[in-house]
Structure 1
């Protein structure tokens, strides 16, 4: 796998097609998103990585400043912008009740999501899928993006829980009242 990673070293999705850069998800950047497990731009601990590379696939603790008044729903999207494909891989997508101020470790589990968390489809499946970059491919940046929406996502499509992220995300029409992001890095 190291050879494949080195051969694909210069092939990366980039951040052009992330949820953050979708025109319909633009908005002020006044929220702050943090984690007890890693700082912005720092390494994501092995515990939060995929089981395939020795991790526990445990979603990290996440906390944010209060969303603005009028927030109907929070949208969390976690993307790997360094995958060697055309667009970033969505590792997790979830709708969060705006009354929540944080998510405990494991709150994005596909089997037992926390109260107030509705899991959406991701590129990989439902729930949190920890980082597992190709060995030798170099650092992978995992962007945790949080959007405060003025209307529930259910109004964007008839079946938001069944839609693939690349279909659902561009269809969200609710104005973004605020947003924040946190980037963690994994390299093998």
Structure 2
């Protein structure tokens, strides 16, 4: 068991601090978000983990139900609610065109994202960062959250590209028309 993980065992950001719970991102839970790689609450397969955890750092296939009429763009946020930090760690932040209904495996890479996807800054770099929890820290929950936005998240594309994840999430002016989420677990 990892010494650092054991020492930090009781330190966790917490589910209440996820983007899901920000007042400006509140909406009816009418989007269904799924993956053929894992079900809600199930373990995320190792190939989708970060390289230091023995994975390929490959984002899983995701698909979702049709967003409501009037959706200008979709905002995808992937966060680790169990990171030993004051806030959940952002593993991916992406803006998706409203006509896109699914992402293939690897569709959230920084260098070659899927069509209709604009990958933004994450907690460390750009693009999908697979699970790499501290050894011995226990199970971590990775929450994939999808928000249907009535207006674009940022009027200035360059500003969105440079914005820190928390700044962008706070700046979403709404309204959010619908939302859905999928949570996977990972432990090492």
Q: TM-score range by the shorter chain?
A: over 0.9
Name the CA distance, whole Å, in 2 between partners of 1:47 and 1:75. Answer: 24
Partner of 2:138: 138
CA contact (8 A) 1:156 1:171 kept: no
CA contact (8 A) 2:51 2:57 kept: yes
Partner of 1:185: 185
* Aligned CA-pair RMSD: 1.3
CA contact (8 A) 1:156 1:172 kept: no
**Pairs aligned (count):** 188
CA contact (8 A) 2:148 2:176 kept: yes
Alignment of 1:115-134 (within 5 A): 115-134=115-134
Over 3 Å counting, the alpha-carbon distance change for 1:158 and 1:173 in structure 2 is farther
TM-score (norm 2): 0.97
Name the SS of the counterpart of 1:37 in structure 2.
Answer: coil
Partner of 1:6: 6
Deviation, 1:158, is 6.8
Deviation, 1:156, is 8.0
- Structure 2: 5+ residue runs without aligned partners? none
Partner of 1:41: 41
Deviation, 1:155, is 2.9
Partner of 2:100: 100
Name the CA distance, whole Å, in 2 between partners of 1:122 and 1:53. Answer: 18
